[in-house]
A = this chain, B = another copy of it.
Amino acid sequence: MRESELPVKFEPQGKTVFVLHGTTVVEAAARAGISMNMPCGGQGTCGKCRVRLVSGACEPRDAERGLLTQADIEDGVRLACQTCICAPMSVEVPETSVLTSTFQILGGASGVARARLMDVSDVAVRKRFVELPAPSREDETPDIDRLERAVGPFYLELDLLRQMPQRLRQWQFHGTAVLADHRLIDFEEADTTSEVYAAAFDIGTTTLVGTLIDLTTGRECATVLRINPQTSYGDDVVARINLVRQDPAGLDKLHRAIIGEVNSMLAELCAEAKADVHHVYEATFAGNTTMQHLLEGVDPSALGEVPFVPATGRALMLHARELGINIHPRGRVYIFPVIGGFVGGDTTAGIMATRLADATGATVLVDIGTNGEIVVSHGGRMVATSTAAGPAFEGARITFGMRATNGAIEKVLFDGDVRTNVIGGVAPVGLCGSALVDVVAEMLRHGLLMSEGLMLLPDQVPDTVPGPLRERVIIAPEGTAFVLATSAESATGSPVYVTQKDIRELQLATAAIRAGFSILLRRVGLTVGDVDQVLIAGGFGNFIRRSNAQRIGLLPADLERRRISFVGNTSLAGARLAAASQKIRHRAEEIAREIEHVDLSVDPEFQEQYVEAMFFPEEG
């Protein structure tokens, strides 16, 4: 049985998503790409996430009665964090309720942390339209000095210098100077000051996300998501490092693949935003250490063996042309500093996006992806590590696994039978990582799975399990399996199920993160009870359910649930900040140098913790 989802429409965004009964409006909004302003962390205490339910409103909760007037309530106003969806709904989102700066997300917003509007007061790229006086007998100042007199001193490349005398004369000494730091990037005809863009990229092992930012307003104009084409050379970074080590052309293949895809994304971003790619003057990139090496075309072989040394730890500022990135040919590419080993620029970016360095209480940032990075910030000290979780959370190496796109079962709950939510409201094709977490948590709760991760055989399932669920335990060609969608229900005509091997993959991924989490806490002398906040980052984090993450042991069970927040793709958020702010770049460099990097492979406790974490928690 597959429940039909409830449509929820958001205005003025004009977006509709389909969600399961009982989903909160905040979660639905996150699905629609809208980050609600929620400094209290969804406790219903700050009243910042006000929305108006045009239709489908249900009774307000006590928290809402305390914060809203009777007139508001009668008008349909509710708090998005307190409102569960129990009918098709139309929601009006006031601008004041939308998260406007990524910096706010440390307060604990659930859902995708997307900066709608950024501060552009500190942007590296600036344009100045100038109307210079033409040279005369009374003013014989050389061409370049003439321009400098108007815009301040700058450095310029030879190819631009060569074009300047003609351009100045052709345009009667009027035009727009494009400056970045103290470089003259270009001198353009007429007044182009309204056309200044930067692109920001998160380059994940599996997924690439790019966004185009209008630097005159700080607005995001377009976003593009792609599968990393390098996945065809290997699912995880280890496979790609091995390719480089074994195939003399391997590095070039991987480098070309990512550069080509980024350029294709840039073209799409510009087309969508109706922007000229020559008006994109900077691109920023955040990714894990290996991905950044492959983007740069730098050999990551030393990352493939003890002691796992990157080529460079510092941030890089490269010429777009030398890297082959198709923005303005004299534009620049910024790549985030690496913290150490596999703790890469994506983590540095995440620290910037969440302002982790400024956190007052003990705060843990967990980026759940193919590579899991964990950072603990406590009293001005920061410690970071990475664990090889594998691609299970991204749906890879799972029998019917897929990314969180249309056709993916993204949510599963058992209520006598299985209820699923499918992205796009279509017949299911497979399941994504969040659904795998759900089904494992529910199987543990219903006694269909033992704590060591072993599925019960069909004839071992106890009678207390409701019949519809018992019937879903089958012997598939791959062995014992649990059916989420029958061949009649699925879009493919074949059933969608979870196998014993899939559960083993999830165990390995979960254990890696959990063990890293434990060791880092111990390093700074904390216990789970001391933790004020856990920030879950990564595309996967958008969809995960806290209770299920705790049930399978991905997060400690004794962590108060209200302390867990989902902060979305902080790598991309950090890249966006760096695109708009020079201070962010400088601060990122400082932080990457100051932070302590813990190499779990040399930690004597890790193996022990890891084996322990392989067991699912006993208590549901």
Instruction: Let me know if B165 and A311 touch, CB within 8 A.
Output: yes
Taken residue by residue from 551 to 576, chain A's Cβ proximity to chain B (1 for < 8 Å, 0 otherwise) reads as: 00000000000000000000000000
Shortest distance between the CB of A329 and any CB in chain B (Å): 13
Chain A, 301-319, CB within 8 A of any chain B CB: 301-302, 306-314, 316, 318-319
Complex CA–CA separation, A390 to B195 (angstroms)? 50
**Could you say which interface size class chain A belongs to?**
35 or more
Q: Which of A71-79, A100-108, A155-163 contacts B (4 or more CB under 8 A)?
A: A155-163
CB neighbours of A17 from chain B (8 A): none
Chain A, 586-606, CB within 8 A of any chain B CB: 597, 599, 602
A261 within 8 A of B: no
Instruction: Let me know if B322 and A158 touch, CB within 8 A.
Output: yes
Complex CA–CA separation, A319 to B322 (angstroms)? 14
Instruction: Let me know if A140 and B314 touch, CB within 8 A.
Output: no
A143 and chain B: residue at smallest CB distance:
B311
Instruction: Let me know if B338 and A142 touch, CB within 8 A.
Output: yes
Taken residue by residue from 127 to 170, chain A's Cβ proximity to chain B (1 for < 8 Å, 0 otherwise) reads as: 00000000111011111110010000000011101101110010
Question: How many protomers of this protein does the assembly include?
Answer: 2
Complex CA–CA separation, A297 to B161 (angstroms)? 9
Q: Assuming the A-B contacts A297-B162, A318-B158, A340-B142, are A137 and B313 also in contact, with contact meaning beta carbons closer than 8 angstroms in the complex?
A: no
A323 within 8 A of B: yes
Q: Assuming the A-B contacts A137-B306, A307-B137, are A162 and B312 also in contact, with contact meaning beta carbons closer than 8 angstroms in the complex?
A: no
CB neighbours of A313 from chain B (8 A): 141-142, 144-145
Instruction: Let me know if A314 and B144 touch, CB within 8 A.
Output: yes
Complex CA–CA separation, A235 to B338 (angstroms)? 58
Instruction: Let me know if B137 and A311 touch, CB within 8 A.
Output: no
Instruction: Let me know if A298 and B165 touch, CB within 8 A.
Output: yes
Shortest distance between the CB of A54 and any CB in chain B (Å): 54
CB neighbours of A162 from chain B (8 A): 296-299
A516 within 8 A of B: no
Complex CA–CA separation, A260 to B307 (angstroms)? 49
Q: Assuming the A-B contacts A158-B322, A169-B302, are A312 and B137 also in contact, with contact meaning beta carbons closer than 8 angstroms in the complex?
A: no
CB neighbours of A142 from chain B (8 A): 309-314, 338, 340
Instruction: Let me know if B311 and A164 touch, CB within 8 A.
Output: yes
CB neighbours of A308 from chain B (8 A): 140
A341 within 8 A of B: yes
